[in-house]
Amino acid sequence: MSLPRLARFSRFSRRTLLALLAAPALASAQTPIKFQLDWRFEGPAALFLASTAKGYYKAAGLDVTIDAGNGSGGTVTRVASGSYDMGFADMAALMEFHANNPDAPNKPVAVMMVYNNTPAAVLALKKSGISKPADLNGKKLGAPGFDAGRKAFPIFAKANGISGVQWTSMDPPLRETMLVRGDIEAITGFSFTSLLNLEARGVKAEDIVVLPYPAHGVKLYGNAIIASPKMIKENPAAVKAFLVAFAKGAKEVMANPDPTIDYVKARDGIINVELEKRRLRMAIDAVIASPDARAEGFGAAVPGRLALMASQVSDAYGTKTRIDPAAVWNDSMMPSKAELNILPPLKK
């Protein structure tokens, strides 16, 4: 081989070798997404963890990290700060952040509804004589100050003609304890959380009264997947890929919930597996595959209902500015209808 030809061959070989060496790195390059839940690793977290365990996020070109949270308000704030790219948070908490921080440069927006109905409820013990909303007039209620049900209670009170309620604040672990002890007469909380917490404190299910907000005239949306505007602007394809991968895993969770608690236990080894199985099933039945979700379609938010919620939250939360429903919702990255057809069949 002549020297010129040898030189050209050598240059070609080097380019080919470099390309071959770079190919695996390019193929394995994945978009990192830091995602924060609204709360601890409990039953409903399986909806998100399943797609990690099954490799659906990875197959979509994403490197997803899922962390526990300590309340929806904190999740919204951390996504706004840039500490997290996406999260799972209560729509009312998202609306409140928008209205109270009108000049914030990075206000998160909701990109998919997961809890079509708020899980908020009032819970009481039957021995208190409380059996319907009207029985709450003049009663002593308790909840942490940031509790979604407590903050939205004025909406529940207005819908049911309730007045004269006296509030006691406490840390979350004391809420159900104080109810059992008789320090307060009722509490607000997520139905599938407080009910099971009361049972864990020795109260029988038949001795507990649950008044879910959606069953008593309050059609607020619950938790949604949120994303930072920066993430949406710079990589909307990654947001959509996350939603598609999440929906795929969530469908499998709802089809057969119990085994998926193993994914939760892998993140928190001290959970009560049987209790979390119940919590997950209750969440699916009450707020994810609810009649409203079946009517509207999983993941969607109806403009009129969202606008009404924005007005109600503005009033109940006493926000600095009125909430603009168009500013908190962006469904442009939603998966196809076929990919969102994930709700389990109706139980007969």
Residue 44, helix vs strand vs coil = helix
pLDDT digits (tens, 9 = 90+) for 128-162: 999 999 999 999 999 999 899 999 999 999 999 99
Above pLDDT 70, what percent of the chain? 92
Single out the residue of 225, 289, 278 nearest to residue 254, CA to CA.
289
pLDDT tens profile 45-66: 999 999 999 999 999 999 999 9
Cα separation, 164 vs 247, whole angstroms: 43
| Cβ atoms of residues 109 and 76 within 8 Å | no
Q: Give the helix/strand (H/E) hosting 13.
A: helix 3-28
Q: Please report which helix (H) or strand (E) contains residue 23, including its range.
A: helix 3-28
Cβ-count burial 249-280 (b if 16+ within 10 Å, e if not): bbbbbbeebbebbebbbebeeebeeebbbbbb
Report the largest interatomic distance among the alpha carbons of the chain, rounded to a whole angstrom. Answer: 101
Query: At residue 179, does pLDDT exceed 90?
Result: yes
Separate counts of helices (H) and strands (E) for the chain: 15, 10
192, 283 Cβ separation under 8 angstroms: yes
Cα 275 from Cα 261, distance rounded (Å): 10
Q: Are 193 and 287 in contact (CB under 8 A)?
A: no
* Across 19-38, average pLDDT: 70
- Kindly report, residue by residue over 116-137, the tens digit of the pLDDT: 999 999 999 999 999 999 999 9
pLDDT single digits (tens) 104-117: 999 999 999 999 99
Cα distance between residue 162 and residue 334, in whole Å: 39
Express each pLDDT in 310-336 by its tens digit: 999 999 999 999 999 999 999 999 999
Q: Is the pLDDT of residue 43 over 80?
A: yes
Q: Residue 161, by phi and psi: left (phi above 0), alpha (psi -120 to 50) or beta? A: left
* Percent residues over pLDDT 90 in the chain: 90
- Check the CA dihedral 314-319-320-324 and report its sign: negative
pLDDT at 22 over 90: no
Rg of the chain (C-alpha set): 24
Domains of the chain: 31-116+221-327 (3.40.190.10), 120-216 (3.40.190.10)
3-state secondary structure 255-320: HCCHHHHHHHHHHCCCCCHHHHHHHHHHHHHHHHCCHHHHHHCCECCCHHHHHHHHHHHHHHHCCC
DSSP 147-184: -HHHHTHHHHHHHHT----EEE---GGGHHHHHHHTSS
Confidence of residue 29 (pLDDT cuts 50, 70, 90): confident
At 14 the pLDDT is: 54
Average pLDDT over residues 229-248: 97
Over range 9-32, report the average pLDDT: 53
Give the angle subtended at the CA of 156 by the CAs of 151 and 158, to the nearest 5°: 110
Distance CA 42, CA 279 (A): 8
* pLDDT band, residue 348 (cuts 50/70/90): confident
Give the mean pLDDT of 223-250.
Answer: 97
